[in-house]
Chain A
Amino acid sequence: MTGRELHWNKGASETQVRIEESGGHGIFHIGEQAIPFVVRGQGWLEVNGRNIRYYVHRDRNEYSIWIDGRTYRLTRIQKGAHALEQAGGASGEVRALMPGKVLRVEVAVGDTVKERQPVVIMESMKMESSLPAPKAGAVIAIECAPGQIVEMGTLLVTIE
């Protein structure tokens, strides 16, 4: 009955949980709380006598959980690690958040930018979206050009 230990990240805060389960009955440890639960079937839990119907979709370490009419998002992380996305965000790299076309590059190499200042304007699904600078600094590299079709995750601009 040692159970599994898991670490979740939601926004900036990290939560450690422990789950003990045997034969559909278990206890969920979170902070000081120990919450008994029953696995009632596929996508169905009972907690404190309340039925909870849920759906979980997982995409790598990103989990979407539909529960009680709302969808929540959680990132599973290694113990003590920062969220993956956060780690990437601090690096000064501006990457395409989705596949699409580069419409405009709003900065030039050598420019000084403020945090959140728009750097690249992209078009995806007929809509424009603006990619902001993840931090203040100087533009040291531009790796895309207007009109270019880029994949999701492509490095577009680097700020130092």
Chain B
Amino acid sequence: MSITPFNIPIIPKLKRETILSLAKRGTRIDKRRLDQYRPIKLTLGVAGKAHGSALAEIGNTKVMAGVKVEVGRPFKDLPEMGVLNVNVELLPLASSEFEPGPPDENAIELARVIDRALREPGVVDLSDLVLIPGEKVLVVWLDIYVLDHDGNLFDAAMLAAMGALLNTKVPGYEVREDGSVEVTGPPRPLPVTKRVVSVTIGILGNVFLVDPSLEEEVVSDGKLVFAFDEGGKLVGLQKSGPAWLDLDRAGPAFNLAYSKYKELLDVLEKSIAENSPK
């Protein structure tokens, strides 16, 4: 069951007015342009026992992602496919609003939006993760760990997720004659076939703010998350929050997001390049 958040501080109406009036002049509280991201940083290989990991920072927002690859069973209806599980933890470290406990609807929504944006375009080639068809496959656990929440968790989580997947080395599993599986060979990169990034737009009335900070999110009506693959195809989309959107503003929102996705892709590419063996 989903319930209107009621345990929240009162929304500062004055702040909303300020942000709206700044927006009319094309600027924001932190001096950014309406279509400007905060500084973005992606660091790969931040957790040594993970098979792959990354830390994404957008402004003060910090999201870590870690990948573990294990042997498991395929889904009954997909016997020749490995398994990808995406989990998000909104850690209580990250915000005074986050309480310890199992993932709530916000964590689940975040995980599922990222899951779809990875799964639908086939970012991980799951057909390449089969050991014994119908019996044993590789299960990829992608755990997204939100450490510091200063707004725009979707884009940071997406970036961390892609970074971690691209950083992942799969242990060299081999199937023995008796059907047992052992790690014998050298590790190999996870088969990642595409790169995906997301662009989030905050909605305040008729104003669009790219990469909303927490301060901006709190007074927003909601947001739109667009996920793109490296070729610019739309591979995910989510209206999140109680906002409504004018029918004729959907196109402009899409165009705004489309104009930004390459920036994030560049961050991703750069960090991979820095990280790859020379």
Same complex origin of A and B: no
